[in-house]
């Protein structure tokens, strides 16, 4: 399995941990059209399709990371369609949310922003795997889930989330994922 897929799979699996439920047959058509719309947006984002990786990062930052709840107490995060663009760790995600906004608006009457971000991340991972011509890896089926609730201030988050930092070792990152 290629390193790119090995890196993206834990993120994909992590973002599936949520309050959503499996989608119904009526959503299959919606997911089909959403996939087409997002692929067009990914293709339009540039030669290297930077929106693909940005979307996976967006979902991770929406769904992961402990939230400080006061007095050095932390609670687990959930996918809630909210990103605090003022946090240093979220630097660059405003460009991603802005690029995805037109597509989301088209589907906002069908799904929450949290569901849209999670579905967009799954579609980005699937599409990146299809584009990877160097390896013959097969991506396991990543299910779509719907039913997440957006935070009250969606899309703007107010939470202070904490993520692994670039200087973390492999064991530091492993510990972070175990705890969060």
Active centre residues (catalytic): 61
Cα gap 83→55, rounded to integer Å: 12
User: Which residues touch 112 (CB under 8 Å, ≥6 apart)?
Assistant: 81, 146, 148, 149, 150, 154
Helices (H) and strands (E) in the chain, counts: 6, 4
Return the axis-axis angle of helices 50-63 and 25-44, rounded to nearest 10°: 130
């Amino acid at each position: 399995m290629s390193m790119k897929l090995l890196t993206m799979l834990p993120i994909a699996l992590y973002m599936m941990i949520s309050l959503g439920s499996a989608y119904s047959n009526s959503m299959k058509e919606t997911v089909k059209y959403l996939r087409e719309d997002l692929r067009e947006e990914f293709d339009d984002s540039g030669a290297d399709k930077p929106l693909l990786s940005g979307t996976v990062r967006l979902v991770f930052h929406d769904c992961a990371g402990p939230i400080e709840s006061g007095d050095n107490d932390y609670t687990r995060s959930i996918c809630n369609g909210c990103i605090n663009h003022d946090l240093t760790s979220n630097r660059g995600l405003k460009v991603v949310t802005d690029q995805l906004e037109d597509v989301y608006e088209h589907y906002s009457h069908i799904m929450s922003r949290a569901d849209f971000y999670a579905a967009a991340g799954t579609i980005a991972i699937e599409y990146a795997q299809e584009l990877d011509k160097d390896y013959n890896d097969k991506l396991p089926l990543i299910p779509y889930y719907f039913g997440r609730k957006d935070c009250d201030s969606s899309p703007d988050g107010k939470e202070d989330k904490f993520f692994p930092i670039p200087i973390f070792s492999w064991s530091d990152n492993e510990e972070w994922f175990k705890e969060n």
